[in-house]
Homo-oligomer: A and B are copies of this chain.
């Protein structure tokens, strides 16, 4: 990092966009939070914000972590677009194009989950861990994978929120995923918890019996992630994870399923260094976008 580094970063969500100018979490020059309205208005407010700082002292690049699904593949005609989102007015919207044309600097581009994974890997709870997984559990469930120093795209990008899980004995709930019913997202997302409990997840007490099932299913999913990717650490974030004191139950369920099969010091005791909470308190995405900008500047 040199003293002259300065980037723009956007974490774009369904309700708000977080905009930052700076070079690292401890070197933030400016920040703004704007509501997500129409694409044209929201992007114009982004452009206005960054142009103000860019004119004063140039930004080397912009990094974007965006709600999706988004098109990450440079060869695609819709690269840089939000694609088939259910969010009204935002389907098949070019994001990278207008930003790049207005600011005339390189624009790096990831989905929101990958941006958060990059944030945790560079500044947060997954620092020095490779491979690493960041899993967010909220309205949806999504995961990002760091492997070989880069966020993994693959054919499309991971969609690990939709893995299929065994039914826990006695649990008759059929899940809420419109594609897969009882997949992980269908079982533990905010809407799944609300459907199970008959009221919003946010209104349940921490000792509500629903949390035990949520923790048990998350432990199963982490078992599969551990077996398939052999990560050095799994970082958990998102609104549901913050509720219900889930972490000890998730770790206990994972430990039970592993059943001493994987032999490594990290799997001894209570998995306290293997399954951890996000260290960036809701800022993983926008800090990740700073790192995405840095990579775009180098490309």
Q: Is there a chain B Cβ closer than 8 Å to A139's Cβ?
A: no
Which of B148, B156, B162, B264 contacts A155 (CB under 8 A)?
B264
CB distance from A141 to the nearest CB of B (A): 11
Complex Cα–Cα for A31 and B131 (A): 37
Chain A 86-128, CB within 8 Å of chain B: the 1/0 string? 0000000000000000000000000000000000000000000
Complex Cα–Cα for A180 and B167 (A): 15
Chain A 272-296, CB within 8 Å of chain B: the 1/0 string? 0000000000000000000000000
Q: Is there a chain B Cβ closer than 8 Å to A230's Cβ?
A: yes
Pair A154/B229 contact, Cβ less than 8 Å: yes
Number of copies: 2
Counting chain A residues whose Cβ lies within 8 A of the other chain, the interface size class is 35 or more
Give A162's nearest chain B residue, CB to CB. B227
Q: Is there a chain B Cβ closer than 8 Å to A158's Cβ?
A: yes
Q: Is there a chain B Cβ closer than 8 Å to A206's Cβ?
A: no
The stretch among A33-41, A240-248, A255-263 that forms the contact with chain B is A255-263
Give A149's nearest chain B residue, CB to CB. B148
Pair A180/B261 contact, Cβ less than 8 Å: yes
Pair A257/B180 contact, Cβ less than 8 Å: yes
Q: Is there a chain B Cβ closer than 8 Å to A232's Cβ?
A: yes
Q: Is there a chain B Cβ closer than 8 Å to A64's Cβ?
A: no
Pair A156/B230 contact, Cβ less than 8 Å: yes
Pair A262/B159 contact, Cβ less than 8 Å: yes
Q: Is there a chain B Cβ closer than 8 Å to A74's Cβ?
A: no
Pair A153/B228 contact, Cβ less than 8 Å: no
Pair A229/B228 contact, Cβ less than 8 Å: yes
Q: Is there a chain B Cβ closer than 8 Å to A84's Cβ?
A: yes
- Most chain B CB within a 10 A radius of its CB, from A163, A231, A257: A163
The stretch among A4-12, A20-28, A207-215, A217-225 that forms the contact with chain B is A217-225
Contacts of A182 in B (CB 8 A): 166
List residues of A whose CB falls within 8 A of some B CB. 84, 131, 143, 145, 147-150, 152-167, 179-180, 182, 220, 223-225, 227-232, 257, 259-264, 266
Query: Which 3 residue pairs across A and B have the least CB separation, nearest first?
Result: A154-B230, A148-B148, A179-B261
**What are 10 A-B residue pairs whose CB atoms fall within 8 Å in the complex?**
A84-B263, A147-B152, A148-B149, A148-B150, A154-B229, A159-B227, A162-B227, A164-B223, A179-B259, A225-B228
Query: Given A164-B166, A224-B228, list of 13 further CB < 8 A pairs?
Result: A131-B152, A147-B147, A154-B231, A156-B264, A159-B227, A159-B230, A163-B228, A166-B166, A166-B182, A167-B167, A180-B259, A224-B224, A225-B228
